């Protein structure tokens, strides 16, 4: 399982301004959220620092927020407390979720913000998707966002250094991504992320983490969703765009 222990502390510097505000993050899913009944039961199964979960709770939904990282779950619980949002938090790997939560009870499961590539290859990815499918009621939907890995792989191994300082909580940081692209799709890839905070007094604080990644093609994901009983309903996939969203319905 990927760490995210060090990154959890400084995760704000990695996400866009739009995702920082819980209500705005939830609003980015308005298209699918309008399909939900009031008081819907929703799960964010890779909740990160919790902005989406808290935003969904702010709309009156019954929210469970889960993540494999203890540090991320802690941050989600803190954010929920800060907003007075009733969010149940669970520390669980995708495959462990059915041990913690009742099957076929969720109206919607979110796996967003480029999380699924952390599943260790096709077999683990299908197992993760199967877990998500088991938790959904019939007619419930999985909402998944993904990087366009076809593009990421085509660019090859490289270093991305942010061309401007990212300011969060009054502190500036330089963000560096080191992409280590393996020869084959099936191989373990690596993404090293470093956040260097530079304070006005000249002090520098670096936090970094080496994450493992197993990218997948959009076509593969489509096929894997069908294998676990989820029918892809919409997809924004565009081979030229950086990210896409897939919505799949439990049959």
CB of 93 to ligand SAM, least distance (A): 4
Instruction: Among 13, 80, 106, 113, indicate the residue that binds ligand SAM (CB under 6 A).
Output: 113
CB of 51 to ligand SAM, least distance (A): 7
Residue 78 or residue 199: which is nearer to ligand SAM going by CB? 78
- Identify residues 1-60 at the interface with ligand SAM (CB under 6 A): 1-2, 4, 15, 46-48
**62-76: burial string, b at 16+ Cβ within 10 Å, e else:** bbbbbbbbebbbbbb
CA 79/CA 174 separation, integer angstroms: 25
Question: Is residue 232 near ligand SAM by the rule CB under 6 A?
Answer: no
Instruction: Among 118, 141, 207, 218, indicate the residue that binds ligand SAM (CB under 6 A).
Output: 118
DSSP state of 242: S
In the chain, alpha helices (H): 5-9, 17-20, 22-27, 30-33, 51-57, 70-83, 97-100, 121-135, 149-155, 218-227
Total site size for ligand SAM, rule CB under 6 A: 19
CA 97/CA 66 separation, integer angstroms: 8
CB of 121 to ligand SAM, least distance (A): 12
Residue 42 or residue 119: which is nearer to ligand SAM going by CB? 119
Structure tokens at 150: 């076809």
Question: Is residue 146 near ligand SAM by the rule CB under 6 A?
Answer: no
């Amino acid at each position: 399982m990927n760490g995210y222990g060090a990154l959890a502390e400084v995760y704000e510097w990695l996400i866009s301004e739009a995702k920082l505000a819980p209500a705005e993050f939830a609003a980015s899913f308005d298209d699918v959220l309008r399909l939900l009944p009031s008081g819907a039961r929703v799960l964010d199964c890779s909740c990160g620092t919790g902005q989406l979960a808290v935003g969904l709770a702010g709309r009156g939904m019954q929210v469970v927020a889960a993540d494999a990282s203890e540090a991320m779950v802690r941050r989600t619980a803190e954010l929920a407390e800060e907003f007075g949002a009733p969010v149940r938090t669970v520390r669980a790997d995708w495959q462990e979720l059915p041990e913690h939560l009742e099957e076929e009870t969720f109206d919607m499961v979110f796996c967003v913000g480029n999380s699924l590539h952390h599943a260790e290859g096709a077999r683990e990815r299908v197992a993760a998707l199967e877990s998500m499918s088991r938790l959904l009621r019939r007619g419930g939907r999985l909402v998944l966002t993904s990087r366009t890995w076809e593009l990421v792989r085509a660019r090859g191994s490289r270093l991305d250094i942010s061309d401007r300082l990212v300011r969060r909580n009054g502190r500036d940081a330089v963000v560096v991504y080191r992409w280590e692209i393996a020869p084959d799709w099936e191989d373990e890839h690596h993404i090293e992320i470093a956040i260097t905070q530079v304070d006005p007094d000249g002090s520098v604080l670096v936090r970094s983490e080496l994450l493992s990644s197993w990218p997948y093609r959009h076509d593969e994901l489509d096929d894997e969703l069908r294998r676990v009983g989820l029918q892809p309903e919409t997809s924004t996939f565009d081979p030229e765009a950086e990210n896409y969203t897939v919505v799949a319905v439990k049959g």
